[in-house]
Chain A
Amino acid sequence: MRKLLKAALAALFLTAAVQAATPLQAAGNPDVIRLGDVGFGFGTPFGVGVLAIADAKGFIAEEFKGSDVKLEWTYFTGTGPAINEALSNRQLDFASYGAVPNIIGKANGLPTILLASYGGTTIFGAARPDLDIKSIADLKGRKIAIQKATIIHWGVIDALKRAGLSERDVTIVDLKNADQLAALAAKSVDAAFGADFLLPLADKGLATIFYRSSTAGKTGDGFGAFLVTESFRDKYPEATEKVVRGLVRAAAWLGDEANREEAFTIWNRAGTPVETIRKSNDGGSLKDKYNLLLDDFFRSRYESAIAFNKEQKLTRRDVDLSAWIDPTVLDKALKSAGLETFWRKRDAQGNDLP
């Protein structure tokens, strides 16, 4: 018994000593870097964006080759709220998720810094096949299911506005993804909006897809950002830059049309059939979709989400976007990766700048 106690004490001292020693070498690299993303699928969820590519193809791991840094990846099926909670519990250093929840986190005092855009998300609208719903305008007087306080929520309200409708013209029901499918099937709601998890429903004949944001002009798609906690960036500036460099290299790989099919098979790990992913990205350039620049377009998108959050009373406090964005890390990463000219900067409306 006494031996055991001694051993335990020794172990305790050792860990304390190690912990005390780490900050000395920490100036360079942390022991572990924890990254979080939105995930889908059963069993072990997986991501469907650039970060998932960076994970699967080892772009960020390559940046730390030869060091002892360990990368920890977590994909949250609970989406935004779960990621906000993980960040506030200090369980994550980096995270990639939709603008609406990350603005909610920031407005509630999460010390985060925006490092890069995560690109775009296509938002789909699915309707009961027995109803005559062919466009957003047909939703007047209908009951629609969305998960509120997500970028999908923003996308739907925005689409309604563009079609000349307002929130009052429809009844919005707040439902999670799985419940949306059940509610559509049970005819409790007339339409649902979500990511490509809705597409298999159409394949089974249970719904018709009447809206996709990628065809609704440049400002239709959902958006979000890749961010870091303030303390991590301040403590490990080099590691932060390496992570971002890995991310932009992943996006550049994704932007190469030759890798299109391979990317689809990687995203397939999240449970969506490759055929569905192919369909959902039909005709769109992945290079344009996964443009990570913090340009005027990104800023105008975020300003619109900040205004949306306030209008919908999702946030109580204001968020200062220019203080929240730190473009210097991305600039350095692009330069050192030789990708400065890979993406074109866009104006506020999403048109390429000369």
Chain B
Amino acid sequence: MPLDSKALDTKDRAGILHPPPLPWNGREAERGDGGRRLFRPAGAGRLPDRLLPFALPGALLASWQAVTAAGFMPEQVLPPPSLVLRTFIAFLGDGEIANNLLVSLRRIACGLGIGVVTGFAFGLLLGVSRRAEAYLGPLFRAFAAVPALGWIPVLILILGIDEALKIVILSKACFVPMVIATLDAYRNIPARLREAADVMRLSPRTRLLKLTLPAMMPMLFGGLRLSAGQAFVSLIVVEMLAATEGIGYMMVWGRTLFQIDIVMVGMAIVGVTGFLLDALLRRIERGIGARMGERTGSHG
């Protein structure tokens, strides 16, 4: 077994617990020398940092393959990774994934757009005006406490089952974390900065662009990323309950057809898309932070 010898080999060199490179992890398999080279330069037996995020998924994938190969679980309950991959390729080929993903992404874009813009405006209002906070704050908190799932039965009756329902649910899900983040960000602008701005008699415009927004930026982006995460959660919920297309529906359909591999393809797509969206937002955050002079620090 080439896999075994390689595993021993790397273990010898590394001499520690890190798992050997997995042959089905495409990135490593491509290197031709079975990934051994990756271990060599480290010397001290440390995986290069860039590969660390892949270690756990790789190990999970390996145990998944092992469990299915050993037949511990019926194929209907836990299909082997190879079947999931085959389904993925088949769905990629016939446009099933592209169509559903497009529908889902459109919903996310609308919901995130509406929720974030209104959430930012509302949060700023609560932050700037004590009176607004006194009047609207408690109502907002009660509103926020009811999860998207709880709104669906009522909203279906009002809005029907079409796109409007999904957009409203998603907007609500994005709105709440954005309001809280904006409010906190505004409140946390250092008092000394405000005083300095007062002393310098900055115009409202300059004040907003040079002080308020840059100071709020890290927390705003925190809120934005939280909103995006919430949008994904709600998207899948709403698509699983009342939809006829989208990635969430594809997953429910897989369950109905008793083809768990379809469900798993859906899970993988949601996971990867969510990860990419988060990475994109982080990159934008860094870009904006750099442009604003990194004054506010604490970017991560």
Contacts and interface: CB of A to CB of B under 8 A. Distances in A.
A81 B161 contact: no
A173 B255 CA distance: 17
B160 A173 contact: no
A179 B249 CA distance: 14
A132 B292 CA distance: 64
B111 to A, nearest CB: 19
Contacts of A188: 156, 160-162
B258 A183 contact: no
B53 interface: no
A173 B244 contact: yes
A188 B165 CA distance: 11
Majority-rule SS of B interface residues: loop
B258 A81 contact: yes
Given A109-B75, A109-B76, A175-B242, A183 B160 contact: yes
A108 B244 CA distance: 23
The residue in B77, B156, B157, B255 that gathers the most chain A C-beta atoms within 10 A of its C-beta is B156
A109 B160 CA distance: 38
Nearest to A89: B77
Interface residues of A, number: 29
Interface string A85-102: 100110000000000010
A314 interface: yes
B257 interface: yes
Given A179-B156, A183-B156, A109 B161 contact: no
A182 B77 contact: no
Contacts of A109: 74-76
Interface string B63-81: 0000000000011110000
Contacts of B158: 186
B161 A186 contact: yes
Nearest to B159: A186
A174 interface: yes
Contacts of B82: none
A54 interface: no
B259 interface: yes
Interface string A149-182: 1000000000000000000000001111001001
